[in-house]
Amino acid sequence: MIINKNILFTTLALLFTTSCSHQQQKQQQQQHHHHKKGGMNKKFISPNLDPDKWKNSFEDNKRDVYHHRQDIINSLDIKMGDIVADIGAGTGAFLKGLNSKVGPSGKVYAVEISEKFVKYMSRRVKDEKLTSTEVIKGEFHTTTLPTSSTDHAILIDVYHHLDEPTDMLNDFKRILKPNGTLAIVDFDKIPGVSRQWIINHLRLQKSEYIQEVSKAGFKFIEEKEIPFKENFMLIFKKQ
């Protein structure tokens, strides 16, 4: 049997290229879907989750966003009577400040996917008499809030946990009123500068957040000047 070396070489090269292309596509798909349900959020939907343990972590003054929680709230331009959605509210670290800001005529929706956090915040709202606050069970693809119900939607160290960012951005547009504000506070991923945990934990750098959110139909307004050590705060408007 005579084998043409040129044909054999061409065939092997084609197989190698196809294999590499398949591997790259697989890696891209894995990268795109690494926030799927059961990924980064698995620990938060676990029936063994201990809210008190997470409260100690979330509400530690060494945590950048908690230390600057009042700066964040003040930067939102919330008026008495406004409706605010704290998306991924966790144990409720920001609820007292937000509740005070909207006043008795306003509303704070504390949205969470974790059943344990929902129950924990519900008790907290009652114990702390946060009469303008309502705890809402969210889902992986929707806040479950009414359409055009919200003046401000805020995500504090939450955006990088979204399982389906495109779906959620569409949902934020749905729940926000015309010209409603979307505020994103998250870790600033800077190669060679940021902690390795941030480099490994986040898929986007700040400029990529702006691109992704803008592509979804929001207008980038500004970055707030808050003296964070390793976070940033971006403001967008619903268009």
What pTM, to 2 d.p., does this model score? Answer: 0.82
CB 89 within 8 A of CB 111: yes
User: pLDDT digit string (tens) for 144-170?
Assistant: 999 999 999 999 999 999 988 999 999
| Residue numbers of the domain that contains 20 | 1-32
Of residues 23 and 134, more confidence is placed in: 134
Does 164 share its domain with 196? yes
User: What is the count of structural domains for the chain?
Assistant: 2
Element (H, E) at 116: helix 115-127
Does 104 share its domain with 192? yes
User: pLDDT digit string (tens) for 12-34?
Assistant: 445 444 444 444 444 443 444 34
Strands of the sheet containing 150-156, edge to edge, are 133-137, 107-112, 83-87, 150-156, 176-187, 231-238, 218-223
* pLDDT value of residue 39: 61
Across the range 58-64, mean pLDDT stands at 94
Dihedral (Cα; 215, 218, 222, 223), 10-degree rounding: -60
Q: What span, in angstroms and rounded, lies between the C-alpha atoms of 174 and 150?
A: 9
User: Which residue has 């043409």 as its token pair?
Assistant: 4
Does 28 share its domain with 75? no
Question: And the tokens for 220?
Answer: 């980038």
CATH of the domain at 148: 3.40.50.150
* pLDDT value of residue 41: 75
What is the b/e burial string over 107-121, where b = at least 16 CB atoms within 10 angstroms of the residue's CB?
bbbbbbbbebbbebb
Using a pLDDT cut of 90, give the percent of the chain over it.
75
* pLDDT value of residue 4: 55
Across the range 33-53, mean pLDDT stands at 68
Work out the pLDDT band at 2, boundaries 50, 70, 90: very low
Q: What span, in angstroms and rounded, lies between the C-alpha atoms of 234 and 132?
A: 26
